[in-house]
Structures are given as C-alpha cells and as structure tokens.
A and B are shown apart, each in its own frame.
Chain A
Amino acid sequence: MPLYLPIAELSMNVFLVIGMGWIVGFLSGMFGVGGGFLMTPLLIFVGVPPTVAVATQSNQITAASVTGALAHWRRQGVDVKMGLVLIAGGAVGSYFGAQLFTFLRSLGQVDLMISLAYVLFLGSVGGLMFWESVRAIWRTHRGYVPPPIPREDRHKAWIHALPFKMRFRKSRLYISVLLPLAIGMFVGVLAAIMGVGGGFVMVPAMIYLLGMPTNVVIGTSLFQIIFVTALTTIFHSVNTQTVDIFLAILLLIGGVAGAQIGARIGLKMKGEMLRALLAGLVLVVCFRMGYELVAEPEELYSVYDVKTPIVEAAP
C-alpha cells in the first residue's frame, strides 16, 4: 500500500515503513536504547533524503522518550534538576547543530557530515562497548569479580577543580554545573546533526564523568532527550522544512509495537550478552556507513532540486 509523504516528496509502502519502525522498536526495546542511530541510516538506505531522515527521526525520538521517561518517572528514576541543566546545555547545542546542518546543506556537504559523525561516534562507542562487554563475559566465565570503586574516588581531580558547584540531591552529587552543561550541549549537537537522541554518548558520560548513580541515569537521559529532540524538531522545521510528520507517525506505530516485545525478550537475556550484541549492531551500522564513504560510488554525480520557498498555496 503506497503512501505519498508530502514533505519527503516520495511514495513509500506503508507496511515497509511500519515494519522498519517495528524492527528498530524491537531492538531498542531489547537493548534499552533510543534506536535513532539505527533508524536514521535505515531511512537513508531505503531512499529517504538524509536531511528528511535526520529531522524526522528527532520527532520520532521525542515520542519514544516520553514513553520511556514516564516509566522511569514512576520509579523515581529522574533527577529533574540534573535534567534541566542537561536540557539547558542541550538547547544551545541543538541550536548550533541545526545551524551547522543548514549551512552544510547549502554547501552540499550534509550527507558527508552525517556519515562522518556516524562512523566516528558509532565506531568509538561501539568499539568501547564491545571491548567492555567481551571482557565482562570473559570474566564471568572465569569467575572474576572486579573490586568495587569507592564513591569518593569517582571523580578525577580536574572535575573537582571546576567552579560553579551545584548540589544535585537525587544524584547525591555536588559538582560543577559546567560539566553537565557541556555534556548536554555536546549531545544537543549530535541530536541535531545525526538524528539521534544521544543516549549512547550521554549515558556513559553521566556514569563515568559525572558519577551519577545508575538508577537515575537512564530516566534522566530520557528526560533530557524529550526536550532536546523536541527543540531539534522545531529548529529543523524552521530552518529546512524537512520534518515529515506522517513518516514519523508511521515509524512510531511500528516502533511502539516492536518495543513492547523487544523489552520482554531483553529481560530474559544477560546484561553483558545484550551489550555485546548491541555493540556488534552499532559496529555493523558504523562499517556500513564507513564503506559508503570509501567505496567508489556507482554514480559519481548527484542532482539536488533547489526549491524556491513557497509562502502561500498555489491558487
């Protein structure tokens, strides 16, 4: 059943779109990730223009994050104060990210930037995660238990030296506000240029840099993602008019159904096993994007229509 998408300006099979939403929803439910890093490349792969894929994906992540954040909220798993600081940083980052996106689009280099960002971030995060989980699997196999790190030693000296300290009761932290602001800002840039929530960067940063307790990390990151992707959606709508609501809704329908089943299966699997699988998946996407960059393309040329902005509907 074809459906014409008015913003993407192409006709897509409804079941294909819902199916893609389902698969990505399933994987994100299973691994507990947003899935933006899977969906954006998948959309580009099936022919959606990269600009539309990135902008539309932000919109879809907003919805998925609301659902996730609600569940964590009920479990008291959201540090609102920390979340607000991260959002403040994220808003600034998202604004500049969207500006960069618009600028590179006019130069014809936005596709390159998307690919490079994916290769760089997925490669490093996937590589680290893979290494960490393989080591964990190996250690469980051997029966090795790592010694617990004392709470006082969680921060490096330079983090304590930063000014503007603030107390975050829920996270039981007293640290400089600059650090979460910077993390939020960085994630905001990624959200705008990659069409991701940025959880894959924010969650490790919250654990290892901020030293937040794990029970509030996911909820707080989802809380931040809601607002940052919402802002990103608005920035992209205003700058490039590339948000396709219909595409987002179809992906959501599939995603919601897939996530429920994925989450159930994820509960039955071991943590380090899941992380190893997720790392493998991240690396596959990274290699796929990387291959496109280095392999000689079949068609060296590309054509872009320059749309004259319309102010009013044609009579």
Chain B
Amino acid sequence: MRHLLQLVVLWFAFASSVTALETDLSSHKIEIRYSFKGAELILFGAVGHFDGDIEGDFDVVVVVRGPNTAAVVRQKARINGIWINDEQVTFPEAPGYYAVAASRPVNDIAASEILAEQGIGFDNLTLDVVADEGLKGSIPSFREALYRIREKAGLYRQEKDMVAMRGEELFRTDVRLPANVPVGSFLVDAFIFQEGQVLAKNRVELVVDKEGFERAAYTFAHAYPFLYGLTAVLIALGVGWIVGVVGKK
C-alpha cells in the first residue's frame, strides 16, 4: 500500500513536470552577402503545461552554439628583446560562436553542477586541449585567452543578453551575430529552469552561409586555387592595361 502511494505521488510529480516548450527564430538562415555587417535575430519561446499554465516562477536560459573548429591560441614572449609567438595550445573543437542569454544571472538560476551538465557558460564549455610537451604556460590561461579574445570579437557572449518575459508564458531574446561570424550550422538551445532544475529543453537550428557572389568567390578560391589566382592576375593585368591606355590620352 505504501508502495502504491509512492507510485502515485511519483506519477503526479512526473506529470506536473511535463512542461512544454516551443521556440522559434525570426530567421533560420543567415546569408552572408556583400553588405553583411552582422545579423540580429529574435528567438521567441512559449512555455506551457500539459494541463494549462506553468505554475510558479521560472527562468529561461538560451544557449547559441556555432560550428566547432580548431582554434590555435598562441602566447607571445619576449625573446632577445622582441615579442615573438612562443607557446601554443590547440583547441580542436572550440565553438566558433557561443552565446548565453538568460532571464537573470545564470548563477542565480541553478547550481554550478547543473549548469555544467547542460554546458551553460564559458566555464562549462568542455574543450579538448592539444598542447606540446613541456608547456610552461598553464592551460587555463590559454583557455581564458580564447574566451577573452573571442568575447572582444563579439563571437563569445555571456552575461550580456537578457531573455525578456512577455506575459506569463512568452519570452524573447536577441541573438547577435557579428560580421566575422563563422559559417555553418548553429544550435539554439532554450532551457526552462524552475527552482534550479531543468524543466524543459528545446532546440532549433540556424544556418549561416555565404551566399551569391561571396559564396562563389570563396568556393572558387578554395576549390580551384590555381584558376582563382590566374583570374586575379588577369583582372590585374586588364585593369593596369586599361588605365595605362586611357591615362595616355
């Protein structure tokens, strides 16, 4: 009998935790064209319960993750009086873009273990490291440098963007992509937290790609580098010749 009671309690607890979360972006594809100077997207979200409204206060955290690429972090050192790139550490799978937006400071929303589990915040990015043997510098200092430099470039963001609540169940936040955003697929994860626990998750995808002329030029340069170089030379020869002939008159 006691077991049954426990089961019933558990069932209710489970059922009440079935919170529905729906999110969508104002655009699912960002096209980098000649006039591209960054993009701003809006993420909308709606929270609901299987039997009506969500009860009590809740928090929203949105994490945007760009494609992973290898990043080499180099440290300069003074050697013979000049500053030279000395030691280096490679992060083979560093996200090219990473942003966290939240309805209030994430450390107030959940305990650090929970945040770590979900990969929320710079400190919880689990990055593999490849370093030379006998590295003098500390790996955390290289990792911090990666965060600092990318943050300055607008590629990594945290504690900057707010998730704004719109009424009881609706929220929105801005996703800001700088002009130097990497191309590839982005994952936009939204989390609903209540009392420090994850109630619901939802993921939408975003694609950033060079389009039209920019894509053509980039592909041409990388897929047919010899022809690209030849084209560049022919254009230069043509322009120089035209200027020379016109300038004479």
Contact = CB atoms under 8 A, between A and B. Distances in A.
Contact of B34 (A3, A308, A309): A3
Contact of A63 (B32, B33, B70, B239): B239
Contact of A246 (B217, B236, B239, B243): B217
Contact of B210 (A6, A71, A245, A294): A6
A230 interface: yes
Contact-residue size bin, chain B (C-beta under 8 Å from the other chain): 35 or more
Contacts of B71: 303-306
B236 A234 contact: no
B119 interface: no
B228 A237 contact: yes
Contact of B241 (A2, A66, A233, A256): A66
Given A303-B71, A303-B150, A108 B37 contact: no
A245 B231 CA distance: 9
Contacts of B236: 59-60, 62-63, 66, 230, 233, 248, 252
Given A62-B240, A63-B239, A237 B229 contact: yes
Contacts of B77: 300
B219 interface: yes
A234 B179 contact: no
Given A2-B35, A245-B231, A308-B69, A7 B76 contact: no
B191 interface: no
A12 B240 CA distance: 24
A9 B70 CA distance: 17
B49 interface: no
Contact of B233 (A234, A246, A249, A295): A234
A74 B248 contact: yes
B36 A11 contact: yes
A6 B247 contact: no
B197 interface: no
B233 A109 contact: no
Nearest to B145: A301
Contact of B219 (A226, A234, A238, A310): A310
Contacts of B247: 67, 71, 260
B180 interface: yes
B141 to A, nearest CB: 8
A161 interface: no
A149 interface: no
A304 B74 contact: yes
Contact of B75 (A62, A226, A301, A314): A301
Interface of B: 32-38, 69-78, 81-85, 88, 90, 96, 142, 145-146, 148-150, 179-180, 182-183, 209-210, 213-215, 217-219, 221-223, 225-226, 228-233, 235-237, 239-241, 243-245, 247-248
Given A296-B83, A299-B149, 17 more contacts: A1-B35, A6-B217, A10-B180, A11-B180, A67-B243, A69-B244, A70-B244, A71-B248, A230-B233, A233-B232, A233-B233, A246-B217, A303-B71, A303-B145, A303-B150, A305-B69, A312-B219
Interface of A: 1-4, 6-7, 9-11, 59-60, 62-71, 74, 108-109, 111-112, 226, 230, 233-239, 241, 243, 245-246, 248-249, 252, 256, 260, 293-297, 299-314
10 A-B pairs with the lowest CB-CB distances in the bound complex, closest first: A66-B240, A237-B229, A301-B145, A70-B244, A234-B229, A63-B240, A11-B179, A63-B236, A306-B70, A62-B236
